[in-house]
């Protein structure tokens, strides 16, 4: 009789004594510290791969081929001609005699400005941006981890920067992955959004104390944290990154303390509108006038930090994979969003109706779910099914998984930071297509929103002048 070539499953016939011999001693609380230290050492080693000799991240250079294909829409010959005719413009540098010219992104931005002022008016050298309108805030959120939330947020921020927009990235996730991608240095919670939230509550408490004293009541004292927060502005915590037109408000583990502190403040001050804290502070500090786009990376949970990010957002993007579990989890996420914000609206509007004031309602310019890590060979049927159920809420573009993602993850960087010479031009061009298409879908959404507001403002001005 022929033997079974497959054999028995590996979970049969495990010898208990052999298993015991392989077993480690029980772990104490101190063991978690040892594991954390090992991870910290590994993280520092991996993060250093993308840094220079001084321990700083440095953005790679961009070749003439890459600039004329992806960044400035002119022919290479014309690009070279313009540089020759304008020696005061950045001329780039060659790594070999007679080799290709390479430029920093800051130099590319200067060249783009020159072409925008001197070149053909029929070409889009600068991206569309209406005058007089505030920056658009974009929150990327889902309470299921592993859906590509942070990578989607980072790549959109980089795409927008390459397109010429000035970008601020806000990391609300205490894991700090977005902060690592952009090389941020955050020592404690005072270099995160925490002092902005504390300052917002302190401002409420001071106003409430004035009302108390007007009624002859004793004020509530401001503790040391709130007093210190009153002196912190957004500009104090915004840091530069290795991208010339991307700035960062970073995060680190201590930021999670906000999830415990915010409900305490809310209990002590029932009238405090905690969901408006981030929005109000960014507006008060003039941040929304200094940037074109603000990308907010939220934690994988619907906590107080996420609520602040979602309430601040004009555009909400929800990444998810093309799987049943992620589709199911995302549906529950939207259900929780409805319950949370409807509850806030109802609570606020009960008081507003009693006092004869206008009622409030949250509103987003656009909400889109985006399929990430998509494999057309394996997930086409489920992707089509999700599209049928979600309709226009689900972006028709599906972000595929490419080799560029793997390399970028190993180098703690984004795919736009990868040098195409590590592949070849054709492989690089194919690899970034899916991310370019993701940004194109987002940009179409953004431009439509800005155009709608621009036309509405124009109509209002005309009615006011009539």
Per residue in 149-175, pLDDT (tens digit) is 898 999 999 999 999 999 999 999 999
pLDDT of residue 51: 64
Greater model confidence, 147 or 241: 241
Buried-exposed string 383-394: b where 16+ CB fall within 10 A, e elsewhere: beebbeebeeeb
Residue 376: is its pLDDT beyond 90? no
Distance in angstroms (rounded) separating the CA atoms of residues 178 and 174: 10
* pLDDT category of residue 204 using cuts at 50, 70 and 90: very high
Q: Percent of the chain scored above 90 by pLDDT?
A: 62
pLDDT digits (tens, 9 = 90+) for 272-317: 999 999 999 999 999 999 999 999 999 988 899 999 999 999 999 9
Is residue 313 classed as helix, strand or coil in its secondary structure?
coil
Q: Looking at the chain, how many residues does it have?
A: 466
Mean pLDDT of the chain: 89
Do 134 and 285 form a contact (C-beta atoms < 8 A)?
no
| pTM greater than the 0.85 cutoff | yes
The residue among 318, 319, 299 whose CA lies nearest residue 309 is 299
pLDDT digits (tens, 9 = 90+) for 389-419: 999 999 988 888 765 555 555 555 678 888 8
Distance in angstroms (rounded) separating the CA atoms of residues 226 and 272: 14
In the chain the first and final C-alpha atoms are separated, in Å, by 98
pLDDT digits (tens, 9 = 90+) for 61-119: 999 999 999 999 999 999 999 999 999 999 999 977 778 899 999 999 999 999 999 87
* pLDDT category of residue 24 using cuts at 50, 70 and 90: confident
pLDDT digits (tens, 9 = 90+) for 346-375: 998 988 888 888 888 999 999 999 998 888
Distance in angstroms (rounded) separating the CA atoms of residues 143 and 300: 4
Distance in angstroms (rounded) separating the CA atoms of residues 166 and 317: 20
């Amino acid at each position: 009789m022929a033997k079974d070539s497959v054999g028995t499953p590996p979970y049969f016939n495990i010898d208990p004594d052999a298993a015991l011999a392989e077993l480690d001693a029980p772990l104490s609380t101190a063991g978690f510290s040892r594991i954390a230290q090992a991870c910290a050492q590994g993280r520092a080693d991996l993060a250093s791969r993308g840094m220079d000799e001084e321990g700083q991240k440095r953005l790679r250079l961009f070749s003439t081929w890459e600039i004329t294909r992806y960044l400035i829409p002119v022919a290479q010959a014309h690009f070279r001609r313009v540089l020759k005719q304008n020696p005061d413009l950045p001329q780039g540098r060659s790594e070999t005699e007679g080799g290709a010219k390479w430029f920093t992104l800051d130099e590319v931005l200067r060249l783009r400005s020159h072409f925008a002022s001197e070149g053909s008016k029929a070409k889009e050298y600068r991206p569309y941006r209406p005058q007089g309108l505030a920056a658009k805030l974009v929150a990327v959120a889902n309470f299921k981890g592993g859906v590509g939330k942070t990578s989607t947020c980072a790549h959109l921020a980089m795409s927008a920067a390459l397109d010429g927009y000035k970008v601020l990235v806000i990391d609300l996730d205490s894991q700090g992955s977005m902060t690592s991608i952009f090389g941020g240095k955050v020592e404690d919670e005072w270099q995160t959004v925490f002092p902005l939230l504390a300052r917002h509550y302190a401002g409420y408490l001071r106003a409430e104390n004035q009302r108390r004293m007007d009624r002859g009541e004793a004020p509530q004292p401001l503790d040391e944290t709130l007093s210190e927060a009153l002196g912190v502005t957004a500009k104090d915590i915004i840091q530069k990154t290795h991208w010339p037109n991307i700035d960062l408000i970073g995060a680190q583990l201590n930021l999670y303390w906000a999830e415990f502190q915010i409900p305490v403040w809310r209990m002590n001050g029932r009238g405090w509108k905690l969901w408006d804290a981030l929005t109000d502070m960014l507006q008060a500090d003039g941040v929304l006038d200094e940037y074109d786009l603000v990308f907010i990376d939220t934690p994988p949970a619907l906590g107080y930090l996420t609520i602040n990010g979602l309430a601040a957002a004009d555009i909400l993007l929800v990444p998810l994979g093309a799987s049943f579990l992620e589709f199911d989890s995302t549906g529950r996420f939207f259900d929780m969003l409805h319950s949370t914000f409807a509850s806030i609206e109802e609570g606020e509007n009960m008081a507003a109706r009693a006092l004869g004031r206008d009622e409030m309602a949250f509103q987003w310019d656009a909400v889109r779910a985006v399929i990430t890590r998509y494999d057309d060979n394996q997930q086409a049927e489920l992707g089509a099914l999700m599209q049928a159920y979600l309709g226009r809420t689900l972006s028709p573009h599906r972000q595929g998984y490419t080799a560029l993602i793997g390399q970028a993850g190993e180098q703690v960087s984004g795919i736009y930071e990868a040098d195409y010479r590590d592949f070849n031009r054709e492989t690089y061009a194919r690899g970034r297509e899916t991310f370019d298409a993701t940004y194109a879908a987002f940009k179409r959404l953004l431009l439509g929103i800005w155009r709608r507001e621009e036309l509405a403002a124009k109509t209002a001005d005309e009615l006011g002048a009539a």
